Structure 1
Amino acid sequence: MFKLKSRKALIATTIAAAIVAGSSTALAGITTPASTLNSNLKVAYNYAWLGDATSQYNCLAYALGNYSSWVWPWGSSNPTSSQVDTYLYNKGYKYGQGMDSQNVAFYEIISYGTSSSIGHFGRFADTVNGTTYSNAKWGQLELLQHQGWSPYTSNGVYGDAYRKYAKQ
């Protein structure tokens, strides 16, 4: 799909420029209104476009490296964190204790929500000059990169980062 390592400087620059400029006009490819994206972010314009809006795949599929199908094994419900732990364990990932920023390079997948309702997933992208970046597919919306690994408001659609997972 894309090569993050070759684009990380461009992406970091795009995020920084968008935050400073306060405008989504610097972000090519985004069709979702900035107000929709910003209403769910702790910091407005903390996003850079990585992929077009599509219903081809969703956040969990992306987190698992699948760009061709929608993956949500819990039907129309959001799973509990325990259900997510079991599902991801069966996919080769283990829940990591503590949500601190240490050793983020060790982790791959991030779940967002609460213990009773996980509604979103993302991936750690990279750490550049001490700044961590995460990527997430916003449902049927765009694939975006964010500065930080917990970019969403706690009262928004996705919520705060809840757990992180590493390969077993």
Structure 2
Amino acid sequence: MTRLLIGKKKLVTAAIAVGAIASGATTALAGITTSTYTLDSMVSTAGNYAWLGDATGTYNCLAYALGNYSSWDWPWGVSNPDTWKADTYLKSKGFGTSKDISSTDVAAYEIISYGNIYSITHFSRIAASNYTNAKWGNYELLQSYGWQPYSASNYGPGVKKYAH
């Protein structure tokens, strides 16, 4: 059963729900296990996320972006890589890069890195035109509208797109 997440401030928009369903989610908003307040603080626009999967510490954003749902993937230990280390790792996985984060050519790119060139903090998978799917650390697997949905105090802006 699909239900809308109603926070104290916002509803998840219908556009997100439609996008989540269109890109393969079985139920766009089946449930959020992390508090709405916590998730809202992570995005630049409150409510800009739709549930795709439960919270789990089994895998993280990079693992999800690479198609791995069974183990954590962060080869830099407790540090965040700079963009050159992220490029090198993703290249070893068969991905090339683009410095043009504003390109709207969805078909050409699959992964976006976030943060800044000195500290990559997050990765997402491009789901459809102007939608991204990402595993938020130990939080849920969520979809957001826009390729740069995160607040500056959280994951930050998009840095690079990667094509396979």
TM (norm. structure 1) is 0.80
Structure 1 ranges of 4+ moved more than 3 A: 11-14
- Report the equivalent of 1:158: 155
The separation in 1 between residues aligned to 2:99 and 2:113, in whole angstroms, is 13
Shift of 1:12: 7.7
State whether residues 14 and 27 of structure 1, in contact with CA within 8 Å, keep that contact through their aligned partners in structure 2: no
Instruction: After TM superposition, give the deviation of residue 138 of structure 1 in Å.
Output: 0.4
**Out of 61, 64, 74, which is 1:72 matched to?**
74
Mapped to 2, the partners of 1:16 and 1:66 lie a distance apart of 24
Asked whether the equivalents of residues 96 and 163 of structure 1 are also in contact (C-alpha less than 8 Å), the reply is yes
Residue 145 of structure 1 aligns to a residue in which SS?
A: strand
Aligned-pair CA distance for 1:104: 2.4
**Distance (Å, rounded) in 2 between the aligned partners of 1:39 and 1:69:** 26
Higher share of residues assigned helix? 1
Query: Across the two proteins, how many residue pairs are aligned to each other?
Result: 144
Which piece of structure 1 moves more, 67-76 or 104-113? Answer: 104-113
Q: Give 2:163's aligned amino acid.
A: A
Instruction: Give the Cα separation in 1 of the matches to 2:133 and 2:93.
Output: 19
Name stretches of at least 5 consecutive residues in structure 2 with no aligned partner: 1-11, 19-27
Trace 1:13-162 onto structure 2 (pairs within 5 A): 13=14, 15=16, 27-127=29-129, 132-154=130-152, 156-162=153-159
Q: Structure 1 residues 134 and 12 mapped into 2: Cα distance closer, same or farther (>3 Å)?
A: farther
Structure 1 stretches lacking a partner, 5+ long: 1-10, 18-25
One-letter identity of the residue aligned with 2:40: N
The residue type paired with residue 162 of structure 2 is Y
